[in-house]
Amino acid sequence: MKKVKVDRDLCIGCGTCTGVAPKTFELDNEGKSVILRKDGTKSSDLTDFSQIDDTEENIINAEKSCPVAAIIVTEEAPQNP
C-alpha cells in the first residue's frame, strides 16, 4: 500500500508538485504544499494513494520533481493475518 506525505520543514513552496500533480497537491496559505484528499480534506501527513483522486504515476512524478525532496512516497507491505 503506497502512501505519500509532505515534509513541511523541507518544503520551500516552489510549486513544482502542483504543476505535475494538481489533483494531489496545492500550496496552502503558508505557501507550503499540502495533499488534497478525495473527501475534501487537506493534509501533509501520510495519506494512502486510494484517498487521492490522481494517478500513482502523477504522485510519483511529483515526488521526483521536488527540488528539496519534501514529498515522500512510502510503500507498506500488506499485513499477514
Q: Which value, to the nearest 10 degrees, does the dihedral of the CA atoms of residues 53, 31, 9, 56 take? A: 20
pLDDT at residue 79 tops 90: no
Higher model confidence: residue 31 or residue 76?
31
- Write out the CATH class of domain 2-75: alpha beta
- Tell me how far the alpha carbon of residue 69 is from its chain's centroid: 11
Question: What are 9-64's pLDDT values in tens digits?
Answer: 999 999 999 999 999 999 999 999 999 999 999 999 999 999 999 999 999 999 99
In this prediction, residue 42 carries a pLDDT of 97
Q: Which of 68, 71, 70 is nearest to 54 (CA)?
A: 71
The answer to whether 16 and 67 have CB atoms below 8 angstroms apart is: yes
For residue 18, the cross-strand partners are none
Res. 81 pLDDT band, cuts 50 70 90: low
| Integer Rg of the chain from CA | 12
Q: Give, rounded to a whole angstrom, the gap between the first and last alpha carbons of the chain.
A: 16
